[in-house]
Amino acid sequence: MAERHRRGRRASAPPREVDADTAMDVAARFLATRPRTRWELERRLRRAGASDDVLGATLDRLAALGHVDDVAFARWWAEQRDRHAPRGRRMVEAELRQRGVPREVIEELRGEELSDPVLDAEGLPGTELDRAMVALDRHLRHRPLPTERTALQRLGMYLVRRGFSPDTARDAIRRHQTSADDTS
């Protein structure tokens, strides 16, 4: 039983020492799928067996090349959320914290968000209410807004679970109701 396998390696095998070139290869493969935070790369390189010296040198080199930038990652993550699965500011910030983005970067992103127009040049929602409206529209999938009180409460809770404040959820539902009334 001492020879159990875990992720393809023997449990008793000592971790191998990774040199600088191998660490860059591991990091490049890891960055190939999507941008990563410095914290995510550090965790991946430690798991690969990089020493502190190799780890620091690799991260510094990647930062100098522009491949590791937590501010750019935070902007990218927020844009991807707006484009594919709109979430409230609170949920996006929680996701960024889970990925190791420093608090200062999140606060900087929050400051930028307040100055965004309603829709930017690419047609992405800029305000919290606009994000909630997009999330509600996608959830309803062109179905009419229900009129029952419990169904409307469930829609509000749906938006709250996605990181929108209760006030924003309420405003989005009201705005959706008035836009549906205008079209009929």
Q: What is the CATH number of the domain that holds 41?
A: 1.10.10
Within-domain flag for 143: yes
- The answer on 147 and 104 residing in a single domain is yes
List of residues 6+ apart from 166 with CB closer than 8 A: 156, 160
- Rounded to the nearest integer, the mean pLDDT of the chain is 84
Q: Which residue has the higher pLDDT, 106 or 3?
A: 106
Between CA 96 and CA 104 the distance in angstroms is 12
- The answer on 74 and 38 residing in a single domain is no
- The answer on 49 and 139 residing in a single domain is no
Number of structural domains found in the chain: 2
- Residue 156: the pLDDT is 92
Identity of the amino acid at 100? G
Domain boundary among 47, 64, 81: 64
- The answer on 172 and 83 residing in a single domain is yes
- Residue 154: the pLDDT is 93
Q: Take residue 41 and report the two structure tokens written for it.
A: 């790369």
Model pLDDT for residues 130-140, shown as the tens digit of each residue: 888 888 888 88
Model pLDDT for residues 100-157, shown as the tens digit of each residue: 999 999 988 887 754 444 445 455 666 888 888 888 888 888 888 888 999 899 999 9
- Residue 119: the pLDDT is 44
- The answer on 94 and 136 residing in a single domain is yes
- The answer on 125 and 77 residing in a single domain is yes
Residue 18 φ/ψ, nearest 5 degrees: -105, 130
Range of the domain at 24: 16-64
> In 20-156, where do the E strands start and end?
none
Model pLDDT for residues 42-72, shown as the tens digit of each residue: 999 999 999 999 999 999 999 999 999 999 9
- The answer on 102 and 38 residing in a single domain is no
- Residue 18: the pLDDT is 82
